[in-house]
Amino acid sequence: MTEPLIRATGVTRRFGDFTAVDDVSLTVGPGEIVGLLGANGAGKTTLIRMILGLLPPTEGALALFGEPPSREGRARLGYVPQGLGLWDDLTVAENLAFVDEAFRSRATAVPDALADSRDRLVGGIGLGRQRQLAFAAALGHGPELLVLDEPTSGVDPLSRARLWDTVHDSADAGVGVLVTTHYMQEAEQCDRLVLMSQGVAVAEGQLGDITGGTTALAVRTDRWQDAFAALDDAGVLVMLSGTHVRAVDADEERVRAALGGLAATLEPVTPTLEEAMVARERTAG
Amino acid sequence: MKAMILKEFRELRRDRRTMAMLIILPIVLLTIFGYAANFTVDSIPTRVIGPGAEQVAANAPDLFDIGEVDTDATTDDALTWMQDNDTEVVIDTTTQPPTAYIDGASLFTAQSASAAFGRMGDQVQVDILYNPDLDTSWVMVPALIGLILTFIGTIITSIGLVKERQTGTLEQLAVMPLKPADVIVGKIAPYFLLASFDMLVVTLLGVWIFDVPFNGNPWLFALGAGIFLFVVLGLGVLISTASQTQAQAIQLAIMMLLPQILLSGFIFPLDAMPTAIAAIGRCLPLTYFVEIAQGIFLRGAGIEALWLPYVVLTGMALFVFTAAVLRFRRDLAPSAHHRAKAKAA
């Protein structure tokens, strides 16, 4: 088997008494899209910073292209940080030119979608366009690995779909991808998922493995506020989507008991990623 | 409204830098600068030469702190001492009546000395060297160049660097296959060039508009300004590594700038400060640049007279710049740093 692009073994990072990442292991192989899931503060970004070599782990071993993270290793990857890492006071074309120069790669073409913004300052173009530019900059030097930290947050669904097309095209060409997200639709597009909660990798596998073990019941009633309050008071994990109440990881009997005399129909449904994540968090906590 | 006031106090209490600016800074400013803010010079280093030296030295007013009485020295010796800034005043008794040479580059000292001699009437003829009209701008402009370089070096550089950290692009630079040295040099070089350009413009404007004489060697001056720039740019980089936001960087830079303005001898003469306060002044880079700039501009002094400030500034530049680069490098390439540490262990 070929050496994975990223291999993290029992990686831990502490900041004083606080453990941001606790004994996490992870691999990303060529052509593989690995999703790192978790709520804010779960330790995803800290793990990424360690993989990139920006932050030394307190314990554990990290290999990037089979070596400890180094400048040489980083030259072979493309990174889109949460903050995008673009220079606001440079134009779109100038940003790409600087990145090309830094990676000593041939000139990256301004993406078609950004052609009309070519000479505009990055600070003055919309977030969706900025993300496209950050992708173009990260891919310009033909990286073997893409590291994307919340790559599509704040982007409209159409732009998000376009960005994911780019990710899949890269993966099809053999590029390994590590992507953090908390969107269900994005998690579905990953080959493998690692769910982090409070620094710990609490679940791993495909979407079914993450959501598996979690059950959800749709609670249909006109008095949805009362139902929500009653379930919450009874300590049932309850989620609300619009006026739809859903009870997570609780069987019918318990839900009925919590609802008391309140008239409602119960129907088992497939849990969402968010519900699975919250349920896992609760178990872990 | 009460809630608002309470909230504001709570926030302020936790913002240590602002608290420092609000409480400690005024106290420090008042005590240090209260002592330093003194235009009145009450002791002027003086030498007396020529056949009547002993007698003149014995009768000189208390203001003059007679250091050396040399009956054999000549007028040429006197002028050399003045140019080398070995003393502020020389009373030369080889002429009749005796001539008092006063260093016009030390404005307040010269004013006090010339007033004291004036009260003695015809007993002494006064020759104010280097700045015969005791023109304030002649003394201020060379020192202002230092202040402008300090301003650009610390404030502008630190703001520029912190912006990179604040917007997250510093991390992007760290991920790129750039050598830390490339990033540091690439980041600082523009400020170095801009500050050099400013120095040239201010020097030329000073000479043209204010008629400030430039009597020394321009290359020697350029060298001094270059070394000084390394010190202040290094301070700017150090400030940036200790600041998370541009506002913090500005606060720190102001804390570094204020003592330099007030204690470098640029406004208040170091000779008029109590020893302890003057000693603080002697630790500040601008003090040495002011010495170099006024020496070269007005006295036309050479390296033999100015070697000491050059050596001190070079030492400061090496120390500050190395510390700055190491700290900045740590931000850029923590893994390399960590590996080196692991290897050493």
What does the pLDDT look like over A178-210, one tens digit per residue?
999 877 778 889 999 999 988 999 888 888 888
* CB atoms inside a 10 Å sphere around CB A247: 27
For residue B128, give both structure tokens: 């104010």
Q: How many CB pairs under 8 A join A and B?
A: 58
Please give the average per-residue pLDDT across B3-14, as a whole number. 86
Which band of pLDDT confidence, cut at 50, 70 and 90, is reported for residue B337? Answer: very low
For residue A254, give both structure tokens: 């318990």
Choosing from A187, A211, A235, the residue where a domain stops is A211
Query: Distance, in angstroms, between B6 CA and closest chain A CA?
Result: 30
Distances in Å between the Cα of A140 and the Cα atoms of A78, A130, A159, A221, B259 are 8, 15, 19, 53, 49
Residue with tokens 């404030």: B155
Mutate to test the interface with A, among B246, B335, B339 (most CBs of A within 10 A): B335
Please, which residues have CB within 8 angstroms of residue B142's CB and are 6 or more apart in sequence?
Answer: B206, B212, B290, B293, B294, B296, B297, B298
Domain for residue A51, yes or no? yes
Give me the pLDDT at residue B333, please.
67
Q: Are residues A203 and A221 in the same domain?
A: no
Domain for residue A1, yes or no? no
Which band of pLDDT confidence, cut at 50, 70 and 90, is reported for residue A1? Answer: low
| CATH at residue A261 | 3.30.70
Query: Distance, in angstroms, between B150 CA and closest chain A CA?
Result: 25
Q: Are residues A104 and A198 in the same domain?
A: yes
Q: Are residues A51 and A186 in the same domain?
A: yes
Which band of pLDDT confidence, cut at 50, 70 and 90, is reported for residue A120? Answer: very high
My answer on whether omega of the bond before B97 falls inside 30° of 0, hence cis, is: yes
Percent of chain A with pLDDT over 90: 52
> Is A85 near chain B, with CB under 8 Å?
yes
Outline where DSSP puts E strands in chain B: 44-49, 64-70, 89-92, 99-103, 125-129
CA-CA-CA-CA torsion for A218, A221, A223, A226, nearest 10 degrees?
Answer: -40
> Whole-angstrom Cα distance, residue B266 to residue B243?
29
Q: Are residues A55 and A91 in the same domain?
A: yes
Predicted complex ipTM: 0.82
Question: Is the pLDDT reported for residue B339 higher than 80?
Answer: no
Give me the pLDDT at residue B274, please.
83
B176 with A83: Cβ contact below 8 A:
no
Give me the pLDDT at residue A164, please.
92
Q: Are residues A206 and A252 in the same domain?
A: no
Which band of pLDDT confidence, cut at 50, 70 and 90, is reported for residue A118? Answer: very high
Q: Are residues A266 and A167 in the same domain?
A: no
What residue spans define the domains of chain B?
2-36, 44-129, 137-344
B179 with A102: Cβ contact below 8 A:
no
Percent of chain B with pLDDT over 70: 96
Which band of pLDDT confidence, cut at 50, 70 and 90, is reported for residue B272? Answer: confident
Backbone angles phi, psi at B166, to 5 degrees: -65, -40
Give me the pLDDT at residue B340, please.
47
Question: Is the pLDDT reported for residue A27 higher than 50?
Answer: yes
Domain for residue A46, yes or no? yes
Please give the average per-residue pLDDT across A209-233, as a whole number. 88
Which band of pLDDT confidence, cut at 50, 70 and 90, is reported for residue B341? Answer: very low
Query: Distance, in angstroms, between A126 CA and closest chain B CA?
Result: 16
Please give the average per-residue pLDDT across B237-251, as a whole number. 89
Per CB-CB distance under 8 Å, the chain B contacts of A87 are: 167, 169
Question: Is the pLDDT reported for residue B185 higher than 80?
Answer: yes
B336 with A85: Cβ contact below 8 A:
no
Give me the pLDDT at residue B334, please.
60
Question: Is the pLDDT reported for residue A51 higher than 50?
Answer: yes
Q: Are residues A29 and A81 in the same domain?
A: yes
Element (H, E) at A137: helix A127-139
CATH of B44-129, one of 3.40.190, 3.30.160, 1.10.3470, 3.40.50: 3.40.190
Instruction: Report the Cα–Cα distance between both ends of chain A, in Å, rounded.
Output: 37
pLDDT in tens, B53-87: 888 888 888 889 998 889 898 999 999 999 888 89
Choosing from A158, A182, A211, the residue where a domain stops is A211
For residue B151, give both structure tokens: 């301003």
Please, which residues have CB within 8 angstroms of residue B105's CB and are 6 or more apart in sequence?
Answer: B85, B130, B131, B138, B139, B294, B295, B298, B299
Q: Are residues A248 and A181 in the same domain?
A: no
Q: Are residues A139 and A274 in the same domain?
A: no
Q: Are residues A199 and A249 in the same domain?
A: no
Query: Distance, in angstroms, between B189 CA and closest chain A CA?
Result: 17
A56 with B174: Cβ contact below 8 A:
no
pLDDT in tens, B135-157: 888 988 999 999 989 988 899 88
| CATH at residue A100 | 3.40.50.300
Which band of pLDDT confidence, cut at 50, 70 and 90, is reported for residue A64? Answer: very high
Choosing from A211, A246, A262, the residue where a domain stops is A211
Question: Is the pLDDT reported for residue B248 higher than 60?
Answer: yes
Instruction: Note whether B50 and B94 are within 8 A (CB).
Output: yes
Per CB-CB distance under 8 Å, the chain A contacts of B177 are: 71-72, 74-75, 102-104
Give me the pLDDT at residue A30, please.
96
Question: Is the pLDDT reported for residue B230 higher than 60?
Answer: yes
Question: Is the pLDDT reported for residue A169 higher than 90?
Answer: yes
A54 with B175: Cβ contact below 8 A:
yes
Outline where DSSP puts E strands in B110-192: 125-129
Please give the average per-residue pLDDT across B27-39, as a whole number. 78
DSSP label of A109: P
Give me the pLDDT at residue A284, please.
66
Give me the pLDDT at residue A36, please.
94
A70 with B335: Cβ contact below 8 A:
yes
Mutate to test the interface with A, among B163, B165, B176, B182 (most CBs of A within 10 A): B176
Give me the pLDDT at residue A11, please.
96
Which band of pLDDT confidence, cut at 50, 70 and 90, is reported for residue B343? Answer: very low
Q: Which amino acid is at B156?
A: I
Give me the pLDDT at residue B292, please.
95
Q: Report how far Cα B105 is from the mean position of its chain's Cα atoms.
A: 15
> Whole-angstrom Cα distance, residue B165 to residue B171?
7
Please give the average per-residue pLDDT across B254-258, as a whole number. 86
Q: Are residues A223 and A172 in the same domain?
A: no
Q: What is the mean pLDDT of chain A?
A: 89
Minimum Cα–Cα distance from B183: chain A residue: A102
Q: Are residues A182 and A247 in the same domain?
A: no
Give me the pLDDT at residue B345, please.
39
Give me the pLDDT at residue A182, please.
76
Question: Which of the two residues, A182 and B162, has the higher pLDDT score?
Answer: B162
- List the domain range (segments joined by +) for residue A92: 6-211
Give me the pLDDT at residue A95, please.
94
Question: Is the pLDDT reported for residue A226 higher than 80?
Answer: yes
Looking at the 3D structure of chain A, how many domains does it have?
2
